[in-house]
Structure 1
Amino acid sequence: MIRFYLLIIVSLISLLAFLKAPEYHLWLLAIVVTEFPLIFFGISLVLTLTGFWAHKYQMAGTVLGVVTMLIFLSPIVRAWWVAKDLKKNMEQAFNADPNFDSSFSFFRLFNVTKAVSYKTFDYVKYNDTTLKLDFYPAQSADGDFLLNRPCVIVVHGGSWAGGDSRQLPELNSYLALKGYNVAAINYRMAPKWQTPAPVEDIQAAIAYLKTHADELHIDTKNFVLLGRSAGAQIATLAAYTINEPSLKGVIDFYGPEDMVWGYSIPSNPLIMDSRKVMEDYIGGTYSKVPQKYFACSPLEFVSKKSPPTLVIHGSNDVLVSPEHSRRLNLKLQQNGIKHYWLKLPWATHGFDYNLNGPGGQLSTFAVATFLKTVCPQTP
């Protein structure tokens, strides 16, 4: 009897691989379910096998267990399906052949990302605060530092009011080992500071990295912005507005790109009060400061001169609707900008927490491929 009840609980958890999480803690659980699927598959397998000793509901429990195991494996199968055409589609989108191997491997689910050491620098001083960045130097797989390499500037998420440069550092290490310098920055956050302060901070970071390019071994002609969630809004807004010729591309992980539409369709309040978050960042409700909502909507500034863009979004995102990425994708198409929209049907907000999970593998492959095409001189 206990086995059957446990299987019911586990089967309900498995539904997070298909359905959107209805509550904050279930959203966090959904990340684990979809990006660490083998853990839950193993739990289901153990409970199913104990049916040999069960007396009540043996057959029902076994059937339920088998179905549950298949559901937990579904992100892996769906990732394999998306991976089939990912390399070809990205090659077509950016007119380049990066010569990478497979975008997804079952065996990489067991990998552990190697950490790269970083140094922290003050990159800008204002009257009321000093901002820091964490710098991961480009290096070979053997640990040798590489000279004159492109630099990826990473902008963290956190609803414009939280998070820091240490958020999800695994990708920083991965890219450093792929031969890219990485600068993960801190920026001025709401409610004390409001838009466009973070965009100004990105400009300050670029200026600092150019000034110290010799000692940090940075190719000053090749910068790429990468942002997650709120950080993606900041990164894309900067990419489309600051007119920086050294900026070769921008990578958008599940960012809110249409702030006007986003305010009109708030997220589930059991997960996040999105309107309050936006009001703190922008400086008021839409009815009070409508022009500021337009002014911080990245898609409003897409033009034929915008840099190449990589958009990555999970269809089960419960914090930032994939509709934002659809709207940005359309605007990029209309302006003839080289871009690619990687859609992950099972993934939720923050899926890239595990670089070696189903969504993490595909997004990491897409990022590496994008960097290879927009900064072609990097081996």
Structure 2
Amino acid sequence: MIRLIPLLILFLLSLLTVFKAPAYYLWLAAIVMTEYPVIFIGLTTIITVSGVWVSSYRTAGTALGIVTLLLFLSPMVRACIIAGNLQQDIAEAFSSMQCGNSPTVFRANQQPFSLMKLLKGTPALAYKTYPYVSYPDTTLNLDFYQSRVLGKRPCVIVIHGGSWSSGDSQQLPELNSVLAEQGYHVAAINYRLAPKYQTPAPVEDIENCLKYLRHHADELYIDTNKFVLLGRSAGAQIALLAAYTLRDTSIKGVIDFYGPADMVWGYSIPSNPLIMDSRKVMENYIGGPYKQIPAKYVTCSPLEFVSRQSPPTLIIHGANDVLVAYEHSRRLNQKLQQNGIKHYWLKLPWATHGFDYHLNGPGGQLSTYAVEIFLNTITQ
């Protein structure tokens, strides 16, 4: 019994690698279960093997341990399967942007997925903070990560998540350092937050950020013809909306990490209230319930503005996302297909919202690889 109880607890937690989390704290646990699987594989193995010296419930405990191990292994196995064709799939998705009769595969400086990296950390690079715009009631800053490759380089503008009402430029900074190492400047920005500020204020902030970076391009060594927007969650909605509405030809692409692309549909199908009151979150950002201001929900839905002039798009989303429905990305993918926009949708069947908290987890590795190849392709 001493062995069976911890194995039962681990088994229940391992179900989060397959099923959506039913409550807020289980959502947080799901990130840990799926992106740090080696820890739980090791723990389950130790407890299961200990059954050699335990007589009671030996068979039941061993069976439960094996099933639990398989579940904890599943994100890694699925990551390996996706990694096998990821490079070629992305290359084919953007083939018409490349030279020659056959697609040129733009390689990344890493493998799509490596078991050896699962427990490694990501070195943090230094950055400088600059105020990029001043309004009568607030000043906004950005954190600038200088490219480690000399010369005029493309710049990635990173827009944080946080339900449009929280978060800041230092959220999930590891990817910023990785991209700077690979030769990209990164400007991680703060923007005006709800409920005090509402849409389209954050898009205006991005526009002002672009103006600031262009004005200081010489001292920051920025190639002003090559900007890319990258957003997570609420920040992805802002990034997509800016990319599709600003009509700025210097925006060469946009990267959408699990963002809400259809605000009208999203309001009609709210999230699990045990995890987040998504309707209240949207009302704070947009200015009221849908029935009062339906037009405003339309005007802040990125997919409504997809056209044949939209920039290339990379979508990254986990199928077990419990905060932003996977359906948002399916709808955006369909709209991009209809308009002939070069894009790629990285689907992570086991992943939940915020999976890239651990950049070297299964989802973190695949998404970092996809981002790097996407950037290498669109900024050539």
Query: TM-score scaled to structure 1, two decimals?
Result: 0.97
1:208 aligns with 2:212: yes
Aligned to 1:105: 114
Aligned to 1:352: 356
CA distance in 2, matches of 1:54, 1:163: 49
Alignment partner of 2:186: what SS?
Answer: strand
1:139 aligns with 2:155: no
Aligned to 1:38: 38
Aligned partner letter, 1:359: G
Shift of 1:163: 0.5
Shift of 1:85: 1.3
Alignment partner of 2:253: what SS?
Answer: strand
1:237 aligns with 2:227: no
Alignment partner of 2:3: what SS?
Answer: helix
Q: How does 1:305-344 map to 2 (within 5 A)?
A: 305-344=309-348
CA distance in 1, matches of 2:107, 2:357: 26
Aligned partner letter, 1:221: N
1:127 aligned to which of 136, 146, 154: 136
CA distance in 2, matches of 1:131, 1:270: 33
Shift of 1:112: 2.0
Alignment partner of 1:74: what SS?
Answer: helix
| Range with bigger deviation, 89-98 or 339-348 | 89-98
* Gap regions ≥5 residues in structure 1: 141-145
Aligned to 1:4: 4
Structure 1 segments, 4+ long, off by >2 Å, are 99-102
Give a deviation string over 1:223-266, Cα, whole Å, max 9, x none: 00000000000000000001111100000000000000000000
Aligned to 1:91: 91
- RMSD, aligned α-carbons: 0.8
Aligned partner letter, 2:60: A
1:47 aligns with 2:30: no
Alignment partner of 2:158: what SS?
Answer: strand
CA distance in 2, matches of 1:186, 1:27: 26
* Gap regions ≥5 residues in structure 2: 96-103
Q: How does 1:63-82 map to 2 (within 5 A)?
A: 63-82=63-82
1:18 aligns with 2:18: yes
Contact 2:317–2:346 under 8 Å retained in 1: yes
Aligned to 1:365: 369
Query: TM-score scaled to structure 2, two decimals?
Result: 0.96
Aligned to 2:100: none
CA distance in 2, matches of 1:126, 1:17: 45
How many pairs does the alignment contain? 371
Alignment partner of 1:161: what SS?
Answer: coil
Alignment partner of 1:110: what SS?
Answer: coil
| Range with bigger deviation, 20-29 or 110-119 | 110-119
CA distance in 1, matches of 2:310, 2:236: 15
Alignment partner of 1:279: what SS?
Answer: helix
Shift of 1:81: 0.7
Shift of 1:111: 2.6
Aligned partner letter, 2:367: S
Aligned to 1:143: none
Aligned to 1:116: 125
CA distance in 1, matches of 2:292, 2:67: 52
Give me the identity figure in percent. 66
Alignment partner of 1:92: what SS?
Answer: helix
Alignment partner of 1:2: what SS?
Answer: coil
Q: How does 1:164-175 map to 2 (within 5 A)?
A: 164-175=168-179
Shift of 1:68: 0.7
Shift of 1:54: 1.4
Alignment partner of 2:118: what SS?
Answer: helix
